[in-house]
Structure formats: structure tokens, C-alpha cells
Amino acid sequence: MGEDVSIVPTILTSDPQIFATQLDTYQKFARRIQLDLMDGTFTADKSISESAISQLPPNLAVDFHLMSARPSDHLAQILRLKPTLCILHAEANENLLPFFNEFKKVGIKCGVALLPGTFPELVKPYLDIADHALIFAGTLGKQGGQADLLQMEKIKLIRKLKPSIEIGWDGGANLSNVRALAHADLNVINVGSAISKTENPADAYTKLVEESKKRGVL
């Protein structure tokens, strides 16, 4: 634990210019990023849409975190862009299994995100198929919120249901808690404002990676 955790910068914006700038910046130091996508059906706000993205960088692993009540509205664009991983919310209004099947047909890994009130046992059919489980522990649709560290209890519950699944954390990760998260049997820690709102994102990323690898209390 700790040494094998990936720190993944996230992009959440409705501004195409900010999106392009952050994407260009992050791919200079990160090998994997997460793009948060919102269409206003699951969150109050909207983000840049997939249709506004011409293509994804070929040498960068890009995860989509789709915050939408209707994944069907986005399927065609997701299949066009072919992210490395596409995460859908268990709380969406549609059955996720058909979408997982479509993703796998074209080589896209599939993930399921769980809001704080969603128990892993209730979404076991999704976990059985998914490559990734995302524990959401922040403020939906916002960066810079407080991490609900009680959500860490879900890690062992998910591991019990599917030991081999990749588990990610989204919400409030920063320099003060990333070490605890890294040693909690997570595989991925997504980081938003603790990178994006700093003067030097590359330096912030490096410090987060270094902190995540530390052992003990010092």
C-alpha cells in the first residue's frame, strides 16, 4: 500500500480554454488524468461536453467520470473518444450493465461510482462486471470540498465483494490526507483543487506523490 497508488489529476471545467490548458499542463507530468463530465441532469452545474473534445492525447491514460442521470445521452461520444476508463454512477436512472458491455466491446474499461449514501452490497451486479469502483467522498460537481473520510469504510466492503477490482477515491484529497488515503488499500487517488488551484501544478503533483509514498507518521 502507498507505493502502488496512482495520484491522478482531475479536470472539471465548463471553459474549453481552461480544459485545453489543464490538459496540456497535466500531460507533461502525469501519466493518467480524470476528466469530470456533467450535463446538469445529475449535478446542478454543467461541464465541457464530450462533443467539444476533438480527440484525447494518445500517450495519456484518460478516465471519464460521467456525472449524468442518463448515460445513454453520452454513449456515442464516449465510444468515439475511447477513454481508457469510463466511470458511471450507480445512482443513474438507467441500468449500467448494457453500457458496460458496449464499453468492453471497444476496449474501454468500465467503472462504477458510489455516492456517500450508496452501499457497495447494493450495487454488486455492477461491481461484478466493473474494472474500477470509485468511492465519491466530496462535493458532487465541485472541486475543493472536504473529504468525508468515513467513506474509507467502503474500501474493505468493496474488496470483500471483489478483491481484484481497482478502487479509486474522489473528493477532498490533498497534502494533509493523501498519506492516510494511500495506505488505505486504494489504487487511485483523484486530486482536483490541490493541484489545479496551485501556482505550480507540477510541483503540487510531485509533493502529493512523495507524501503518498511515505510510511509511518513522519
Tell me the domain boundaries of the chain: 6-213
Q: Which amino acid is at 106?
A: V
Q: Which amino acid is at 178?
A: V
**Which one, of 71, 81, 74, lies nearest residue 23 by Cα?**
81
d(CA 100, CA 88): 9
d(CA 113, CA 71): 13
d(CA 43, CA 111): 19
Q: Which amino acid is at 210?
A: E
pLDDT value, residue 81: 98
CATH number for the domain running over 6-213: 3.20.20.70
pLDDT truncated to tens, each residue of the chain (218 aa)? 545 899 999 999 999 999 999 999 999 999 999 999 999 999 889 999 999 999 999 999 999 999 999 999 999 999 999 999 999 999 999 999 999 999 999 999 999 999 999 999 999 999 999 999 999 997 776 666 778 899 999 999 999 999 999 999 999 999 999 999 999 999 999 999 999 999 999 999 999 999 999 976 65
**Would you tell me how many other CB atoms lie within 10 Å of the CB of residue 104?**
13
d(CA 35, CA 9): 9
